[in-house]
Amino acid sequence: MDDLNKPFLITKSLYPENQETPIKFLPHHLIPTNYHFKRNHFNYPKILTQNFLLPISGEVVKSVTFYFNQIINFPATTFTGLLECAGNNRSKFDPKTFGEQWEEGAISQGRWRGVSLSKLLSQTGLTTDAKEVLFEGYDFGKREDSDNYVPFARSLPLKIALHPDTIIAYEYNDKLLSIKHGFPLRLIVPGWYGMASVKWLKKITVINYPFTGPFQAIDYVYYPKDIEPFPVTTTNVNSIIQYPLNYSILDAGNHTIEGIAWSGEGDITTVEISFDGLHWSNAVLLKNTTEPYTWTKWKYQWNALEGEYTIFCRATDSKGRRQPMNAFWNKKGYGYNATPKAHVKIT
């Protein structure tokens, strides 16, 4: 990967633009902006001077409209964090589910910088009726299920909205956000699937009822086969094998199997490798204890003898969540996290 000026994202759709990161080929801890996956429901909004104002109103003591200049002058919060689309790997569900047929590249990671939403809310105050915080983006359009124009809008429970690492971000990897990733201001909710991180923030409203917009109550809901629907929130424990690639032919001898593992809740505690899906051995974790929202790199030394193999990998997090052999099927195809596999031939 020498020439990072020639991006080759994997195109899923152009209008709206949905493109995957070539995640298996990127060794980076910080994925450059032009390699960050793109996930949009509508065409890009026009960026005008009004985009540099952020009004907060509703169940607040005092409504305030913040200027971009004010926002960047507050003490900043900076962290490296990953963003994974809830539809990542949807193409692997069996039976198939509707929606963008993502492979494993709807995930990226970089350094986000912004102001804690809780700092802005401490300027407005909250009424005792405040229950959720609603975020609306500047992008809008028609969905297939309605003739009305709707914006991309989602809410967060108050507790998540007030977490100090829930930020109104204005920088990615030390540069202002790019237009396609939400310039000038976007929400970043570390630990949650990407849909929570609303781009191109237009306004924030504190509400006293559960928000039921279509991107909250129709989409981003797990509809399992036998149990009641429930909302998509935090990122599941998950991993990928970056080397060797699926269907590769390798020489016998020493190989380092490697990849990344992540979880939206707690840390990665183990990554295990198996060649039969029954017997597992621990991989070595290259742990990064100062960056709780990042993926963990792992490695496994393999002395490979001639033959054909299926390599399995599974991660476990500190909340005791472990990747299942088969994904949790749900009608809209969210949260796929079955153990990844790589089939290889050793000659």
Ligand X SMILES: Nc1nc2c(c(=O)[nH]1)N[C@H]1C(S)=C(S)[C@@H](COP(=O)(O)O)O[C@H]1N2
Interacting residue with ligand X among 23, 26, 120, 195 (CB under 6 A): 195
Residue of 85, 148, 72, 80 lying closest to 114 (CA atoms): 72
| Residue 200 touches which member of Mo ion, ligand X, none, C-beta under 5-8 Å by kind | ligand X
Shortest distance (Å) from residue 40 CB to Mo ion: 9
Tell me how far apart the alpha carbons of residues 184 and 180 are, in angstroms, rounded to a whole number: 10
Tell me how far apart the alpha carbons of residues 294 and 190 are, in angstroms, rounded to a whole number: 9
- If the CB atoms of residues 89 and 269 are measured against Mo ion, the closer one turns out to be 89
255 binds ligand X (CB under 6 A): no
- If the CB atoms of residues 110 and 194 are measured against Mo ion, the closer one turns out to be 194
Q: Which stretch binds Mo ion (CB under 5 A): 176-184, 187-195, 214-222, 245-253?
A: 187-195
For residue 68, give the H/E element and its range.
Answer: helix 68-73
What x/- string results for residues 309 through 338 when contact with ligand X is judged by CB under 6 A?
------------------------------
What x/- string results for residues 192 through 211 when contact with Mo ion is judged by CB under 5 A?
--xx----------------
Shortest distance (Å) from residue 33 CB to Mo ion: 18
Shortest distance (Å) from residue 37 CB to Mo ion: 9
Interacting residue with Mo ion among 71, 85, 204, 240 (CB under 5 A): 85
199 binds ligand X (CB under 6 A): yes
Output phi, psi for 8, to 5 deg.
-130, 80
Q: Which residues from 20-59 bind ligand X, rule CB under 6 A?
A: 36-41
Based on its alpha-carbon atoms, the radius of gyration of the chain, rounded to whole angstroms, reads: 21
Bridge partners of 135, per DSSP, are 154, 204
Tell me how far apart the alpha carbons of residues 96 and 108 are, in angstroms, rounded to a whole number: 24
202 binds ligand X (CB under 6 A): no
Shortest distance (Å) from residue 304 CB to ligand X: 36
Q: Which residues from 2-61 bind Mo ion, rule CB under 5 A?
A: 39
Shortest distance (Å) from residue 214 CB to ligand X: 12
* Token code pair at residue 45: 């909004």
Q: Are 252 and 306 in contact (CB under 8 A)?
A: yes
Interacting residue with ligand X among 23, 26, 54, 85 (CB under 6 A): 85
110 binds ligand X (CB under 6 A): no
Q: Are 195 and 154 in contact (CB under 8 A)?
A: yes
Q: Whose structure tokens read 């849909």?
A: 195
Shortest distance (Å) from residue 325 CB to ligand X: 26
| Alpha-helical segments (H) within 103-191 | 117-124, 158-161
* Token code pair at residue 313: 């990998």
* The residue type at 26: L
Q: How far out from the chain centre does Cα 81 lie?
A: 9
* The residue type at 106: A
Q: Which stretch binds ligand X (CB under 6 A): 120-128, 155-163, 194-202, 336-344?
A: 194-202
Dihedral sign, CA of 116, 266, 271, 343? negative
Shortest distance (Å) from residue 120 CB to ligand X: 18
Peptide bond into 157 cis (omega under 30): no
- If the CB atoms of residues 199 and 321 are measured against ligand X, the closer one turns out to be 199
Interacting residue with ligand X among 60, 115, 198, 344 (CB under 6 A): 198
Tell me how far apart the alpha carbons of residues 309 and 167 are, in angstroms, rounded to a whole number: 44
Q: Which residues from 119-138 bind ligand X, rule CB under 6 A?
A: 137
Q: Could you list the residues that contact ligand X (CB under 6 A)?
A: 36-41, 83, 85, 137, 139, 152, 181, 194-195, 197-200
